[in-house]
């Protein structure tokens, strides 16, 4: 009852779930995976299959019976993010201010990748803390703004080829709310000086990392075993202080719809989408990627399936870790009050509440699919006639 997906002209479309079903058992038997990584593999394998149960519907016109299986809702599953993204963006629409927005990217040097693999939660927390503290410090500085910023930060851990590339995307309103309630607008086309931001970000992160070394808060094994020695820790910190850190400021965004469209590219994303998978034959996976260093050219990479899954699992987040965070005016504790003050300063009304969109309405608006219309006759309406219990011992066949 679980048919493979088909693309244009009837060609079978490769999905991440196909690769997981075929090669995850061998990976689980040979590698030591964290519990959250194992759960992600199981969820992706079972998503929209009989393992999770589902519903049975019948067309009231032609009598055709249809089976719909449940989604896994795992945040690393490429099939389960579209609705989550649209609902998240709908909630953010009510928080946008009528000002230009800026996009910055804070990136950690690749020398920290091995340390992050053994201590993902701590390194990601330090990255968020250093980036947010840097932005708030510059925002409160009268030389640049002199008030409280409104910022959303999103963690990404991957590059185009699924290698580790630890960075945070930051979307900031162009200005700040002053202590006396005035809105201080940013200069046209300029927010904060990038070189100065980079230096402060580097200092804040390395000071926090040094403190973590001192408190013995990190775990060392494999490639990081030598870092258990304080001398090696000092050498690493020294080499990282001596190099320039990458902080990229992208163009200014004007208008709420442009901001939302732009932000939608970065939230609720997984390391690789099914659309980028091109082939899966003889134990190898082919996928598309963009070479940013060569004019964003589209290229193809082929990896052994086991190595492909190992790269994918690098980007499974720790259990319960929040990869999207809000700061300043958008911080949850005082968000409603502070946004109201900002709107008053900008002389803009409070937007009307956005009702939660149903799945049926979402599918019609975003996908152009009427989920209650019979796909066989395209005339009748599907009526629920029963449910399918989860098949706990079910295992989908490899492709």
Residue 74 counted as domain residue: no
Residue 16 counted as domain residue: no
Q: What is the DSSP letter of 373?
A: B
Alpha carbons 299 and 200: distance in angstroms, whole number: 36
Residue pLDDT, tens place only, 231-257: 999 999 999 999 999 898 877 777 667
Q: What pLDDT is attached to residue 204? A: 98
Radius of gyration of the chain, Cα coordinates, nearest whole angstrom: 24
Residue 240 counted as domain residue: yes
Q: What is the mean pLDDT of residues 178-202?
A: 91
Residue 32's contacts (CB-CB under 8 Å, 6 or more residues apart) are none
Residue 21 counted as domain residue: no
Mean pLDDT, all residues of the chain? 89
Cα 25–chain centre separation: 26
Residue 375 counted as domain residue: no
Residue 387 counted as domain residue: no
Q: Percent of the chain beyond pLDDT 70?
A: 91
Residue pLDDT, tens place only, 282-333: 999 999 999 988 888 999 999 999 999 999 999 999 999 999 999 999 998 8
Residue 276 counted as domain residue: no
Tally the domains of the chain: 1
Q: What is the residue range of 335's domain? A: 95-271+314-345
Q: How confident is the model at residue 108 (pLDDT cuts 50, 70, 90)?
A: very high
Residue pLDDT, tens place only, 121-176: 999 999 999 999 999 999 999 999 999 999 999 999 999 999 999 999 999 999 99
Half-sphere exposure of 245 (CA within 13 A, CB side): 28
Alpha carbons 95 and 91: distance in angstroms, whole number: 7
The pTM for the full model equals 0.89
* pLDDT at residue 212 tops 70: yes
CA 371 vs CA 5, 67, 68, 368: distances in Å: 17, 12, 10, 9
Residue in this structure with the two tokens 């759960």, named with its chain if needed: 39
Residue 54 counted as domain residue: no
Please, which residues bridge with residue 65 across strands?
Answer: 58
Alpha carbons 298 and 320: distance in angstroms, whole number: 34
Q: What pLDDT is attached to residue 270? A: 87
Q: What pLDDT is attached to residue 294? A: 86
> Do residues 149 and 342 touch, judged by C-beta distance below 8 A?
no
């Amino acid at each position: 009852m679980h048919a493979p997906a088909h693309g244009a002209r009837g060609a079978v479309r490769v999905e991440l779930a196909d690769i997981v079903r075929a090669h995850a058992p061998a990976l689980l038997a040979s590698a030591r995976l964290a519990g959250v990584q194992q759960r992600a593999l199981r969820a992706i394998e079972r998503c929209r299959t009989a393992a999770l149960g589902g519903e049975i519907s019948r067309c009231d016109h032609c009598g055709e019976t249809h089976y719909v299986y449940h989604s896994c809702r795992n945040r690393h599953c490429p099939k389960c993010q579209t609705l989550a993204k649209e609902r998240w963006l709908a909630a953010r629409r009510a928080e946008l201010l009528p000002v230009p927005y800026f996009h910055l990217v804070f990136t950690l040097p690749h020398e920290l990748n091995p340390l992050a693999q053994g201590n993902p939660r701590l390194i990601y927390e330090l990255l968020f803390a250093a980036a947010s503290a840097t932005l708030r410090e510059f925002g409160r500085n009268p030389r640049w703004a002199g008030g409280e910023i409104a910022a959303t930060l999103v963690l990404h851990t991957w590059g185009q080829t699924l290698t580790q590339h630890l960075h945070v995307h930051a979307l900031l309103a162009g200005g700040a709310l002053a202590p006396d309630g005035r809105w201080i607008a940013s200069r046209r086309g300029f927010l904060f000086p990038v070189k100065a931001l980079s230096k402060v970000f580097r200092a804040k992160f390395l000071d926090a990392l040094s403190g973590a070394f001192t408190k013995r808060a990190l775990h060392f094994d494999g490639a990081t075993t030598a870092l258990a020695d304080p001398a090696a820790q000092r050498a690493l910190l020294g080499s990282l202080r001596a190099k320039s850190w990458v902080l990229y400021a992208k163009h200014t965004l004007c208008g709420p719809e442009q901001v939302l469209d732009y932000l939608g590219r970065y939230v609720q994303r997984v390391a690789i989408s099914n659309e980028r998978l091109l082939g899966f034959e003889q134990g190898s996976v082919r996928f598309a990627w963009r070479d940013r260093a060569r004019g964003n050219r589209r290229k193809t990479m082929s990896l052994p399936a086991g190595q492909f899954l190992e790269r994918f699992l690098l980007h499974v987040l720790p259990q319960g870790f929040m990869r999207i965070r809000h700061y300043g005016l958008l911080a949850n504790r005082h968000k409603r009050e502070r946004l109201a003050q900002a709107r008053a300063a900008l002389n803009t009304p409070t937007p009307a509440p956005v009702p939660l969109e149903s799945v049926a309405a979402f599918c019609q608006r975003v996908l152009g699919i009427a989920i209650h219309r019979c796909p066989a006759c395209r005339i009748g309406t599907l009526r629920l006639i029963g449910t399918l219990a989860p098949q706990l011992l079910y295992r989908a066949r490899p492709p």
